[in-house]
A and B are shown apart, each in its own frame.
Chain A
Amino acid sequence: MNHKTMYMKMFKANYRKSLLLFICNAFLISVCLFFSTLTFNNGYNNTQAIQFVLEQNTQFPTGFVFLFAVFFIPYSHISYNTQKEKEYGVLETIGIDNSSIKYAVVLDNALIALSTLAAGLLLGTGYSVLFNKTFIKHIYPESTAGSLSIKGYEVTALIIGAIYFVTILCIEVYISGRTVKKLLTDERKAKEGHSPSKLLIIIGSALIIGNIFYIIFFYNINDNNALILCYFLIALGMLLILYNSLYFIDVLREKKPKLYYADILHLSDLRYRFSNNKKIFILTICLIGLVVYFQVFSFAVARSTQSYTTANNPFHVMYAEFSDENYPSTEELNELARNTDAEIVKTAEMPVYFDRSSNIVVSSDTLNKALGKDLDIRHGECIIYSQYSLDDGYRHEDKFGSTYSIMTDKLNLKYHIKSVKYKVLINKDMTPRYCIILNNKDYNDLISKAEEHYSMQYRIINCASLKQSERLYKTITAKYDMDANGIISSSKYINMALGEHMSALIILILSIMDLMIFMLNLMMIHFKLLANMDSDKKKYGIIHKLGFTEGEIKSTVQKNINTLMIWPVIIAVIFGGTLIIGVMRFAKETWYTTVCVIIVGAAIIIFQYILSCLYTKYYTRKLME
C-alpha cells in the first residue's frame, strides 16, 4: 500500500466528517453569495422601492455573514483537522515524513475548500433565482430584477477564497510545528479554571439590571452614546457573571450537596469544561441576540411604517394645480368620480406659495377654510407647522429663530414666528419640510409681489373609502398626464401599499438573514459537540459500565446539550429583546415591540428546545454506538 492509497483509505474512513464540513461550509458560502447578490445586483435599481429597501437593509446582513465566515470557516477546518491529528501522529511514528503529511493535509483541505466553494456558489445561485422569481415577483410584479450579479460572485469568491487560503496556510504551519508526541497526545485536560468571585457576580448583576432599567424607562433616542455605553456595560456584566458562574456550582455543592450530587455529572462537566465552552456560549448569545433584535425590528418597523404612512397622509388624494394649466373643476372631478365608482366626500382648494427653501406658504383664511382650522394670525406674524411629529422615532434637530424670512429676487420679507407646531398638516409628498401660515393680508401682499410661477393651488380630495380614492387618483393622473408633466401629487392608498410592500420585503430579508444565522449557530454548536464526541464517548462508556442506565445517560447528555443550546438562547432573548425595546421606545411602539419580543423569544426558545431534544437523541445514539 503506497502513501496515496493510504491517504485515500483515511479519507474514506473520515468521509462523514468531510461531508459534514462540506455541507456546513457550502451552506455558509451560499448565504454569503445570496446576500452579496442582494447588495450588488444592479437589476434591482429599476424598482425604486426594492432598491431603497435593499440599500437600507442588506448591507449589515451581508457584512455580518462575511464576518461570520471569517470566523466559522477557519474554526470548522481546525476542528476537522484536530480530530485527525492522532492519525497524522501515527503516520509519523511509522516513518512518513512531516512534509508528506503536510502535503496530505493541504490537499485534503484544499479539495474540500474548492468543492465547497463551487457547491456554495451553485446553491447561492439557486437561492437568488428562487428569491427573485418568487418573493420579489410576488411583491413587485413590475420588477425586472435579474438574479445574477457578476460582482456578487466576484466578491464572494474573492473573500471566501482568501479565507480558505489563510486557513489552509495556518493549518499547514500548525502541522509543521507539531511534534509526533504532541500529535499523539490527547491534550484535552479538565480545567478547573479560575476561582470564581461573588463580588464580581454582584457587580455584573447590578450592571445588567441597572442598564436594562435605564434603557426601558429613561433612555433618550437622541443619545446614541448613552445607548452604546449601556450595552457595553450590559455585555460587561454578562461576561462578569459568565466568567464567575462557577460560583453558583460551588455554592450548590456546599449548601445543597444532595442536589449537587444528584446532578453531579452535568454540574462537574459545567465546572471543568466551562473554559472549553465559554466562547461558543458567548458567540451563541451574540448570534441569537441579533436574530431576536432583527426579527422584532422587522415587525416593529412594519407597524411603525404603517402608522407613519397614515400620519403622513392625512388626505386621500392631493395634487398641485398651476394657474396656467387646465385642471378639472369641482364639477368635472365629481363627474370623474362617478365614472370610476368613487364617492368624493370632501374636496378643497388651497392656494400656496413655494419659497426658496422648498417650504409652502399658505394664508390663514384659506387654510382654515380648507382644513377646518381656526388659526388667528396677526399682520407680520407667522405660524410654522413642521411636517412631522416630534416623537415619530426619528431624530429632529431643527432650530428656529424669532423670525422667518421669505426671499425672492426682489423681496426679503420677515415675519415674526408666533409659534412652531409639530404636526403633519397636509400630505408629506406635497411639502417635505414646513408649512408657513401667514395672515391673509400678508399672504396676498406676498403673492402680488412674488414671481408668478412659484404660486399654485393644492387640490385636496377625500373619498368614501381608500380603495375608491385609488381609482380616482389613477384616473386623474392618467387623464391629465401628471407624471409626464412633473406635477407633484399624493395618494394615501398608494403610499400605504408601498409601505406595506417595503415592510414585507424588510420582514422577508431579515427573516432570511435570521434563519441563516440560526442555522449557522446550530452548525457551530454541532462542530463543537462533534469535537467533544470522542471524549464524551469514553466518559459515557465508563458511566454506563458503572451502572448508569441509558435513560440516565440521555438525561445527562440532554442537560449538557441544553447548556450549549438553551441557556445562551434565553440570555440572548433577554439581551436582544431589551435592546430592541429600548430602540423602538421613541417610535411609540414599546408595547407592540415587547409583545413581539415575547412571541419571537418564546418561539425561538421552544424551537431550540425541540432541536435540543432531537439533537440529544442523535448524540446519545452516536455515543452508544
Chain B
Amino acid sequence: MTKLLEVHNLKKSYTTRNRINQVIRGMSFTINTGEYCAIMGPSGSGKTTLLNIMAGIDDADSGSVLISDEDIVQLSKSEMTLYRRDHIGVVYQDFNLIDSLTVKENIALPMHLEMMEPEEIDESIESVAQQLGIKHLLNESIYEISGGELQRAAICRAIINKPDILLADEPTGNLDSKSTEDVMKCFTKLNSENGITILMVTHDVFSASFCKKVIFLRDGDITHEIERGSETREQFYKKILTELDVQGDY
C-alpha cells in the first residue's frame, strides 16, 4: 500500500489572553491509500484541530502534512482552498448543508465549482445517491429529511469529486443509534467497494469499531494505535473499549 497522508512533527497552539495552549505537540503518523481509520481521544486531546489542519481549514504552527506528496501546510490560503476543493472531502458533525439548495443541488455543488457538464453531474449524483440510499430524496429540501439522511447527503457531497481522502469530524455526533449505524455502513461500503481512504474523528466507540484502525490521542499527542486485522466489528468494539479502559479515558 502507498502512503497517502503523512503527518510529521505537527505542532499547533492557541494563544489566549493569559496563556498558550499547546493543542498538538509534535504529532506524526501515516495513513495509507484505502485505509479506514478513526482518531479517538478525550475532549481537548486535539482531534478536531488535527482534522481541521488536515482539511486546510486551520493553520499549523510547524511540521508538515503531506497528502499525495503535497505539503498542504506550505500552501497559501487560496491555494489551500483550491487544493481542498480537488483533493479532500470533509463531512461535519452538523452536516453543513446549505438550506437554500435541494439535496441534489447540495451534492452537486463541488462539481459545479469544477464547471462540469450538467449531464455528467446528474450521472455522478445518481450513482453516489444510489450507493448511499438517498436517491429518492434528491429533490427534497433539506428541511424535509432526517438527520441520518442529511449526513448521507453530506457524505455524497464530500465524495462526489472523488477526493484523495475523506475526512469526517464526529459524523455521527448528532445522530440517533439507527442513523449512526446507517452512516457507518455507508462509510464502510465506500471504503470497501470504492477504495476511498477515510479518516474519521470520533468519540463514539460504536462508530470507531467500523474502522480498520484506531489512533488514540491524549493531550495533543498520539498515545498508541490498534488495528482491527481479521476481527469482527463486535470483537474490535470490545478491543477499543478495553484500550480506553486501560488508558482510563472513559
Choose among A258, A262, A272, A546 the residue that contacts B100 (Cβ–Cβ < 8 A): A272
B8 within 8 A of A: no
0 or 1 for each of A9-44: is its CB under 8 Å from B? (1 = yes): 000000000000000000000000000000000000
A268 within 8 A of B: yes
Choose among B98, B100, B112, B142 the residue that contacts A271 (Cβ–Cβ < 8 A): B100
A542 near B97: Cβ-Cβ < 8 Å: yes
B143 near A546: Cβ-Cβ < 8 Å: no
**Residue on B nearest A263 in the bound complex, by CB:** B112
**Apart from A268-B101, A547-B81: 15 A-B pairs, beta carbons within 8 A:** A190-B141, A258-B117, A261-B118, A264-B105, A265-B98, A265-B100, A268-B100, A542-B96, A542-B98, A543-B109, A545-B84, A545-B96, A546-B85, A548-B85, A548-B113
Could you tell me the distance between the alpha carbons of A283 and B216 in the complex, rounded to whole angstroms? Answer: 59
Choose among B78, B85, B96 the residue that contacts A550 (Cβ–Cβ < 8 A): B78
B198 within 8 A of A: no
Choose among B81, B90, B92, B105 the residue that contacts A549 (Cβ–Cβ < 8 A): B81
B110 within 8 A of A: yes
Contacts of B155-209 to chain A: CB distance below 8 A: 157
B234 within 8 A of A: no
A537 within 8 A of B: no
Chain B residues within an 8 Å CB radius of A272:
99-101
Could you tell me the distance between the alpha carbons of A542 and B55 in the complex, rounded to whole angstroms? Answer: 13
Which A residues contact B (CB, under 8 angstroms)? 189-190, 192, 257-258, 261-262, 264-265, 268-269, 271-273, 535, 539, 541-552
B143 near A545: Cβ-Cβ < 8 Å: no
B226 within 8 A of A: no
Q: Least Cβ distance of B119 to chain A in Å?
A: 9
28 A-B pairs with CB atoms under 8 Å apart are A190-B100, A190-B143, A192-B141, A257-B118, A258-B118, A261-B112, A261-B118, A262-B112, A264-B109, A265-B98, A265-B100, A265-B101, A268-B105, A271-B100, A272-B99, A272-B100, A535-B99, A539-B100, A542-B96, A542-B97, A542-B98, A543-B109, A546-B90, A546-B157, A547-B82, A547-B84, A547-B113, A549-B78
Could you tell me the distance between the alpha carbons of A550 and B77 in the complex, rounded to whole angstroms? Answer: 9
Q: Least Cβ distance of A425 to chain B in Å?
A: 70
Could you tell me the distance between the alpha carbons of A265 and B84 in the complex, rounded to whole angstroms? Answer: 19
**Residue on A nearest B84 in the bound complex, by CB:** A547
A546 near B109: Cβ-Cβ < 8 Å: yes
0 or 1 for each of B112-154: is its CB under 8 Å from A? (1 = yes): 1101011001000000000000000000011100000000000
Q: Are A269 and B100 CB-contacts (below 8 A) given A190-B141, A261-B118, A264-B109?
A: yes
Choose among B55, B77, B78, B105 the residue that contacts A545 (Cβ–Cβ < 8 A): B55
Which B residues contact A (CB, under 8 angstroms)? 55, 57, 77-78, 81-82, 84-86, 90, 92, 96-101, 105, 108-110, 112-113, 115, 117-118, 121, 141-143, 157
Q: Least Cβ distance of A538 to chain B in Å?
A: 8
Could you tell me the distance between the alpha carbons of A543 and B164 in the complex, rounded to whole angstroms? Answer: 19
Chain A residues within an 8 Å CB radius of B101:
264-265, 268, 272
**Residue on A nearest B102 in the bound complex, by CB:** A268
B85 near A547: Cβ-Cβ < 8 Å: yes
Q: Least Cβ distance of A544 to chain B in Å?
A: 7
Could you tell me the distance between the alpha carbons of A546 and B159 in the complex, rounded to whole angstroms? Answer: 11
Could you tell me the distance between the alpha carbons of A121 and B44 in the complex, rounded to whole angstroms? Answer: 54
Could you tell me the distance between the alpha carbons of A329 and B156 in the complex, rounded to whole angstroms? Answer: 104
B99 near A189: Cβ-Cβ < 8 Å: yes
Could you tell me the distance between the alpha carbons of A261 and B77 in the complex, rounded to whole angstroms? Answer: 25
Q: Are A543 and B81 CB-contacts (below 8 A) given A190-B143, A258-B117?
A: no
**Residue on A nearest B117 in the bound complex, by CB:** A258
Chain B residues within an 8 Å CB radius of A262:
112, 115
Could you tell me the distance between the alpha carbons of A265 and B77 in the complex, rounded to whole angstroms? Answer: 22
Q: Are A264 and B57 CB-contacts (below 8 A) given A189-B99, A545-B90, A546-B85?
A: no
B112 near A539: Cβ-Cβ < 8 Å: no
A549 near B82: Cβ-Cβ < 8 Å: yes
Q: Least Cβ distance of A620 to chain B in Å?
A: 14
Chain A residues within an 8 Å CB radius of B90:
545-546
Chain A residues within an 8 Å CB radius of B110:
546-547
For the complex of A and B, 8 pairs with smallest distance between CB atoms: A547-B85, A257-B118, A272-B100, A542-B96, A261-B112, A190-B99, A268-B100, A549-B81
Chain B residues within an 8 Å CB radius of A258:
117-118
Q: Least Cβ distance of A465 to chain B in Å?
A: 69
Could you tell me the distance between the alpha carbons of A548 and B117 in the complex, rounded to whole angstroms? Answer: 19
Q: Least Cβ distance of B46 to chain A in Å?
A: 19
Q: Are A548 and B97 CB-contacts (below 8 A) given A261-B112, A262-B115?
A: no
Could you tell me the distance between the alpha carbons of A185 and B118 in the complex, rounded to whole angstroms? Answer: 37
**Residue on A nearest B161 in the bound complex, by CB:** A547
B112 near A264: Cβ-Cβ < 8 Å: yes
B57 near A545: Cβ-Cβ < 8 Å: yes
A543 near B98: Cβ-Cβ < 8 Å: yes
Chain B residues within an 8 Å CB radius of A268:
98, 100-101, 105
Chain A residues within an 8 Å CB radius of B77:
550
**Residue on A nearest B85 in the bound complex, by CB:** A547
Q: Least Cβ distance of B130 to chain A in Å?
A: 20
**Residue on B nearest A540 in the bound complex, by CB:** B98
Which of A257, A541, A545 gathers most chain B CB within 10 Å? A545
Chain A residues within an 8 Å CB radius of B100:
190, 265, 268-269, 271-273, 539
Q: Least Cβ distance of A95 to chain B in Å?
A: 27
**Residue on A nearest B99 in the bound complex, by CB:** A190
Could you tell me the distance between the alpha carbons of A453 and B131 in the complex, rounded to whole angstroms? Answer: 109
Which of A257, A262, A272, A542 gathers most chain B CB within 10 Å? A542
